[in-house]
A and B are shown apart, each in its own frame.
Chain A
Amino acid sequence: MTNNKNIIEMNNVGIRYGQGPEILSDIKLSLPQGSFYFLTGQSGAGKTSLLSLMYLAQKPSRGQISVFDHNLNFTNRDQLASLRRRIGVVFQDFRLLEHLSAYDNVALPLRVGGMDEREIKKRVTELLTWVELDSHMFDKASTLSGGEKQRVAIARAVINRPDLLLADEPTGNVDNIIAGKLMKLFVELNKLGTTVVIATHSDKIINDFKYPRLHLQNRGLHIYYPSDTSMFGGLNV
């Protein structure tokens, strides 16, 4: 499952908002390339904050983060953009551009990367057909149902064949059949080398897919392995 290269490394990372208390403290984490983790924890435990650090949407209040071997303290804005192109993100609230069509939403990461429109058309059509949204390809995102939006959000996250895929409750709004199909997509991507982190509350998914679990509790990060019921508080993976 893993090799020696780490996609993300966090050392003594803490995060706080404004003058408030730290939400996450002394996080140490190494995500090896090609690994697959579930991210769990109660609501408000800091899952979304940890994910936002991973997809480079915010800086930690303290500590160091390296993504794809780039120390974020020494990374300029253009380099950050290039790193973000290697990361796919699925948000709990989808965060689609509502005034754009499903097609344009999925095409977004390819367009910002400067890909040729013909290649974009080929890839986007193929992927939207795969997630069974070919008949809604040109519908505005604002007119889609929750489940359809979820699939568009997932298609947008994977269209770029990212090195790291982060998903916040990606199966929360779809039925079991679609959920199974999406999980299969994540597993397939993982087999192709993508590192996957999925934040979920679903015991069924965690039990069905035997992957290790990053668990947030008491502002710290703990790791569970599927065959192991013991807890490894704050240990490197």
Chain B
Amino acid sequence: MIKIKSAPARAGARILGIGAYRPDRIVSNDEIAPAIDSSDEWIQQRTGITERRFAGEHETLVGMAVSASVEALAEAGIKPEQVGIVLMATLTNPVQFPAVAPQVASELGIPNPGAYDVGAACAGFVYALATAADMVKSGSIEYALVIGAERMTDVLDLTDRGSAFIFGDGAGAMVVGPADFNGFGPVVWGSDGSQSEAISMTSSWFDFRSGKVKEPPTLRMQGPVVFRWAVSEMVGVVQKALVAAGIEAKDLGAFVPHQANNRITDAIVKALDFPDSVAVARDIRNSGNTTAATVPLALHALRAEGRAISGSPALLLGFGAGLTYAAQVVVMP
């Protein structure tokens, strides 16, 4: 058989930089509450959210992704032309095709990289990051740009009592590149398509197009079902990711779970019995649930607060529509 060359594998890969973009407009619970017959107190009690950001017309999905990426590339000290692949986690591309990632790459001045979108909803960023890490380690790529960006307001029904108060807009990005140590533990991921209805849309675009339904589709979530799934299943996923990385909870510098609901985070943290030395990301308070953008935004916020120690391990956890989930230990930049 003819021999095919492979790229030389690398000793390791690591996160080199993180960037964030938070839309200008801050939206309080008081602004959301009247349309869902609710109150600031009710929303805070159920979710821990005090405010979120809503993107304006000028803050496009591509534009927010570009802004977050510029910051991540600057911290990494990487020029656009060095990036070999752009992975974009999102579920709010306003068109079914083409993908957003190539447009983001062009705007950034990255010449002809591999570029595609990752459709794993709230787990999408962690899926994409794990994929990028393996690409760098295998030698296929030198530098990867991983983005999570959402304009959730484009798919929200602000009169839906089950979801209107939860979501927000924003973008986060990370640059992954070669390292002389291992900056990523093995990813623990999975899915459960039998629960695809738990977080979904009110109808398909085709039903709307054919006139079968009168309203365009919007997000719908079976909150208690998702809550139960997340609280009962994610504890085991986190434990598996720790075992896979060969570390214990006490070794973690930070825990950065998907910012779905503070009560899910509370329940997971309680069950895992983390020591106080583990900084737990609570960015949901000020950002709401930004779906694929929560993990990079939350780690970015944790660093801004001085609670993410460079060089120490953080456990990233994504979970959501699909249902999909992914957990991975990473070394913080």
A joins B in a complex = no
Query: Which residues of chain B have a CB within 8 Å of any CB of chain A?
Result: none
By a beta-carbon cutoff of 8 Å, the part of chain A in contact with chain B is: none
